[in-house]
Amino acid sequence: MANADDPIQALVRDHDMVRKLADKYLNSSDTDVKKQAATQLLQAIHTHSRLEESVFYPGVRQVDPGMIGHFEQEHLHVDELLATLQGMSMDEARTEPLMRDLLNSVLDHIQHEEDDFFPKLRQANIDLTPIALQMQALEANLVHMQGQASDQGARR
């Protein structure tokens, strides 16, 4: 069972979900399955990015400021792709190459975080509880706002 006070476990859980959805997207030939996976991926990556950028990275920057700066640069690229894809129909021809670019970037970033940064963070032996609580609060707020946006979209 995951420890609610451990932000690393929460991020790895998100990473695992993104890997599963990416696998579904990349290995399916069914357009409906791909569209559904793409929609879920865009939402999951958006939420996860906000958590890392707003709470996690600022909270752990002192462990390795250079690596966190590199991660933030990777996030800028991903955020640009997300914005482009969120403004498109999943039926457009250019969706597939953009999704592949997004997934390659995200999967590489995940690997780098898990292999290089998370072990370093564990060794730093800092109390991550305050970061975990801030992440939980922000995630609840993001999910609430997404629910409101989808309710408004359904009423139109």
Tell me: the pLDDT tens digits for 50-105?
A: 999 999 999 999 999 999 999 999 999 999 999 999 999 888 889 999 999 999 99
- The residue to which tokens 């060794």 are assigned: 123
| Prediction pTM value | 0.88
Nearest-angstrom CA–CA distance, 82 and 60: 25
Q: Do residues 56 and 135 make contact, with C-beta atoms less than 8 angstroms apart?
A: yes
User: Angle CA(5)–CA(6)–CA(8) in degrees, nearest 5?
Assistant: 155
- Smallest CA-to-CA distance from 82 within 34, 128, 42, 121 is with 42
- Smallest CA-to-CA distance from 71 within 49, 89, 47, 92 is with 49
